């Protein structure tokens, strides 16, 4: 077991066993040199949507943070696959881009996305510190409240 897998176990973090099947004509991940680009992931568990709704209209900030955390767990599942099963190849989380489905009045998108960012830093330490964009929007696929994509650097 590698250091990152050991860290996941130490933090009692389990990754989903399978990804949500995409509905788009796109890859879940793509390597370009030492960069790994991960397609947007929603709050799913083992290939099934786990949360739907809109922040500011029925979903709390805490529920949004949990949705963002689930997105990141799915991103880590894809990252592990892109790294041939070895998360120790990851050298840095470069950037994450997050979309938060919310009402016009909702202004806590950055706080919601902390659910994903905090997870990355807890698992990868300093290598998990990243740039980030958190945008509010009025619609996301499958009625999900959060979608996150990411760029990572890895020794491949």
Which domains are seen in the chain, by residue range?
3-154 (3.30.1330.40)
pLDDT tens, residue by residue, 7-41: 999 999 999 999 888 888 999 999 999 999 999 99
pLDDT tens, residue by residue, 57-111: 999 999 999 999 999 999 999 999 999 999 999 999 999 999 999 999 999 999 9
Q: Does 1 score more than 90 pLDDT?
A: no
Could you give the C-alpha distances from 50 to 6, 25, 43, 46, in angstroms and in order? 26, 23, 6, 9
Strands (E), the chain: 29-32, 35-41, 44-45, 48-49, 90-101, 131-137, 146-154
Could you give the C-alpha distances from 48 to 42, 45, 51, 74, in angstroms and in order? 10, 5, 9, 11
Position 51 confidence tier, pLDDT thresholds 50, 70, 90: very high
Q: Report pLDDT for 60.
A: 98
């Amino acid at each position: 077991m590698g250091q990152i897998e050991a860290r996941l176990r130490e933090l009692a973090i389990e990754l989903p066993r399978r990804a949500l099947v995409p509905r788009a004509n796109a890859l879940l991940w793509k390597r370009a040199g030492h960069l790994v680009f991960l397609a947007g992931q929603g709050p799913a568990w083992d290939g099934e949507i786990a949360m739907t709704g809109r922040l500011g209209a029925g979903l709390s900030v805490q529920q949004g943070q949990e949705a963002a955390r689930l997105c990141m767990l799915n991103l880590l599942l894809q990252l592990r696959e892109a790294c041939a099963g070895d998360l120790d190849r990851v050298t840095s989380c470069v950037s994450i881009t997050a979309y938060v489905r919310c009402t016009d009045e909702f202004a806590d998108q950055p706080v919601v996305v902390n659910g994903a960012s905090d997870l990355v830093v807890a698992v990868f330490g300093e290598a998990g510190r990243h740039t980030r964009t958190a945008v509010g929007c009025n619609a996301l696929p499958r009625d999900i409240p959060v979608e996150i994509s990411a760029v990572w650097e890895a020794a491949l």
